[in-house]
């Protein structure tokens, strides 16, 4: 899930090694992939659900995440680095709805299968060793999370200070949630980095030992490999930070970030295409019937409009 037109489909196709031209995702789309970890071993199957429409279809998030698959589920959040003003609201809305839904499932599991609920909570904490200085300071996301910053090629042309603020902020958010972070673009080398992280979660492949925290280069930080001391304080002066009223570290970073990149109102539904008009879903008999019903509806509207115009309305108030 993530920004509309952020490159989600392209990333999935590369992960599954499919040479297809990406099509716009409508609503919630499903595909799957198979991989074997070695010769003469059975293939693992991974199920991929892609949420289209940016933040306009949040209610669909609950469909693929169920109590039956919660133990093996992971979230990949794709954020368009070329649209920094949409970055925080997109991330916040999608992760908040997902977290709320997952927490409801975990609450039910605590009653029906407490061992599984405890196991999951402990597993998320295991991404950070107990002797890590930030162990008590972070709030791990309830299921594995990968944050992908897409369109790095465009982002790389930004002013260096802008790039630094965005990079530092995403490093903090990823570390705070116990997530992995990778920047990618259409470059095969960078897509491969994202593929490595996703294939680890999807098929159990080995974790990558790569680490890149240089803000002048594409970031690649597996979960648990960063620290608050290395990230540093929010990118603002001490006096400005002192004026910010925030209850949590995450809220502090949000307010500092939005001072530089004030959120724009996102209206994903405004330019959303009608799936019924999409040629890839053409079905002759259904389309003929739909056209007939549309004509009937238009005729009904015209008749209704005429009847109201000619109606002699009584001006008396009863």
Same domain, 294 and 254: no
Give 231 or 278, the one with higher predicted confidence.
231
Same domain, 94 and 17: yes
The reported pLDDT for the residue numbered 128 is: 72
Same domain, 247 and 293: no
Give 191 or 285, the one with higher predicted confidence.
191
* Domain-located, residue 131: yes
Following DSSP, what letter does each residue of 253-309 receive, concatenated?
Answer: HHHHHHHHSPPPPP-TTTTPPPGGG-GGG--HHHHHHHHHHHHHHHHHHHHHHHHHH
The reported pLDDT for the residue numbered 306 is: 59
Q: What is the mean pLDDT of the chain?
A: 85
Q: What is the pTM assigned to this prediction?
A: 0.81
The reported pLDDT for the residue numbered 281 is: 67
pLDDT band at 119 (very low <50, low <70, confident <90, very high): confident
For the chain, the domain total comes to 2
Q: For residue 234, give both structure tokens.
A: 């929010």
| Domain at 67, CATH number | 3.40.50.300
Domain that holds residue 14: 8-260
Same domain, 163 and 201: yes
Same domain, 299 and 229: no
Pairwise CA distance, residues 235 & 309, whole Å:
62
Same domain, 155 and 293: no
Instruction: Give per-residue pLDDT as tens, 195-244.
Output: 999 989 888 888 888 999 999 999 999 998 999 999 999 988 877 887 88
Instruction: Give per-residue pLDDT as tens, 30-60.
Output: 999 888 766 777 788 999 999 998 888 888 9
The reported pLDDT for the residue numbered 304 is: 60
Q: Which residue is it, tokens 């009584």? A: 314
* Domain-located, residue 272: no
* Domain-located, residue 107: yes
Cβ atoms of 75 and 82 within 8 Å: the answer is no
Same domain, 105 and 220: yes
Same domain, 146 and 294: no
**Under 8 Å CB-to-CB from 165, ≥6 apart: which residues?**
235, 257, 260, 261
Instruction: Give per-residue pLDDT as tens, 152-190.
Output: 999 999 999 999 999 999 999 999 999 999 999 988 899
């Amino acid at each position: 899930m993530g920004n509309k037109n952020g490159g989600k489909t392209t990333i999935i196709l590369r992960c599954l090694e499919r040479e297809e031209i990406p099509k716009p995702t409508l609503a919630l789309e499903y595909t799957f992939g198979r991989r074997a970890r070695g010769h003469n071993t059975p293939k693992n199957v991974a199920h991929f659900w892609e949420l289209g429409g940016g933040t306009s279809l949040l209610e669909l998030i609950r469909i693929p995440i169920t109590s039956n698959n919660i133990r093996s589920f992971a979230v990949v959040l794709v954020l368009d680095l070329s649209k920094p003003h949409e970055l925080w609201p997109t991330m916040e809305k999608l992760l908040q709805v997902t977290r709320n839904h997952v927490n409801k499932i975990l609450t039910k599991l605590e009653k029906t299968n407490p061992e599984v609920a405890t196991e999951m909570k402990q597993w998320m904490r295991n991404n950070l060793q107990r002797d890590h200085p930030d162990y008590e300071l972070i709030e791990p996301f309830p299921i594995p999370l990968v944050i992908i910053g897409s369109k790095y090629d465009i982002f790389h042309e930004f002013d260096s200070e802008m790039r630094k603020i965005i990079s530092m902020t995403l490093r903090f958010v990823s570390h705070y949630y116990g997530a992995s972070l990778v920047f990618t673009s259409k470059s095969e080398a960078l897509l491969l980095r994202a593929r490595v992280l996703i294939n680890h979660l999807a098929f159990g492949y080995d974790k990558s030992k790569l680490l890149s925290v240089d803000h002048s280069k594409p970031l690649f930080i597996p979960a648990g490999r960063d620290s608050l001391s290395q990230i540093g304080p929010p990118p603002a002066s001490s006096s400005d930070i002192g004026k910010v009223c925030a209850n949590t570290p995450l809220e502090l970073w949000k307010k500092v970030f939005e001072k530089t990149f004030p959120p724009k109102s996102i209206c994903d539904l405004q330019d959303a295409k009608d799936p019924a008009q999409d040629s890839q879903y053409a079905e002759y008999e259904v389309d003929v019937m739909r056209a007939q019903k549309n004509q009937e509806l238009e005729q009904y509207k015209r008749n209704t409009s005429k009847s109201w115009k000619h109606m002699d309305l009584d001006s008396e108030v009863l």
